[in-house]
Amino acid sequence: MPIRPRPMTGLRVLTAVSMLAASVSGASAHPSLYAQMGGTKVVAAFVSVTIDQVAADPKLNQSFRDVNLGRVKRELTSYICQLTGGGCKYTGIPIRAVHANLGITQAQFFGLVQILRRQMRLHHVSLRDRNQLLALLAPLEPDVVDVKVGPPPRKH
């Protein structure tokens, strides 16, 4: 008779979830990077100021024209939360699709990173945590900078 896996009890589910979160943050005994930075309160705060400053900077804000900034802040906070083991599930639009054909330059990308770096510091995120987050965000560059997508094949 085959052994059937028992359904998970609440406690076992909880343990599995916390193990998963711990493995994402990279250190099983330590809190996640998200928690170390100060959790949603701090992350949402430095994301909000960063987006406001980028949107107000004429050299950086070309892709933010007419954009709902509140939504950008919410989605970016959720994305960072997922990326840093904060236990969120990012349900927003894929990063590459969001930036397609917006013509964002590398200088604009690094301009945002500079503001983000400064705001993290002003929100008392440690140097080590700042560098960890920037290292996690760096691979996004090809999905943000100069993403060109052609027109869809017309069906008519």
Partner 1 sequence: MRWAATAWAAVSIAATTMPICAAAATLRIRVLDLAGRPLKDAVVYAVPDSPLPYTKPRTAIIDQVHRQFAPQVNVVQVGTYVDFPNSDNILHSVYSFSPAKTFVLRLYAGRDEPPIQFDKPGIVVMGCQIHDNMIAWLLVVKTPYFGKTGADGSVVLRHLRVGDYRVHAWDVGMRKASAPRNLPIVAGAPPHQITFRLKAGRMPQHGPTMPGMSAHHRM
Q: Which positions touch partner 1 (CB under 8 A)?
A: 65-68, 71, 93, 97-98, 100-102, 149-155
d(CA 117, CA 19) in angstroms, rounded, equals 30
- Compare residues 33 and 76 and give the one whose CB is closer to partner 1: 76
d(CA 119, CA 115) in angstroms, rounded, equals 6
Residue 103 token pair: 């013509």
- Compare residues 45 and 98 and give the one whose CB is closer to partner 1: 98
CB of 154 to partner 1, least distance (A): 7
CB of 76 to partner 1, least distance (A): 13
- Compare residues 101 and 126 and give the one whose CB is closer to partner 1: 101
CB of 97 to partner 1, least distance (A): 5
CB of 37 to partner 1, least distance (A): 27
- Compare residues 5 and 151 and give the one whose CB is closer to partner 1: 151
* CB 40 within 8 Å of CB 77: yes
- Compare residues 2 and 150 and give the one whose CB is closer to partner 1: 150
d(CA 19, CA 10) in angstroms, rounded, equals 14
Residues 6+ positions from 137 with CB-CB distance below 8 Å: 80, 83, 113, 116
CB of 62 to partner 1, least distance (A): 12
Taking each helix axis as running N to C, give the angle between helix 106-122 and helix 127-137, from 0 to 180 degrees, rounded to the nearest 10: 150
* CB 21 within 8 Å of CB 87: yes
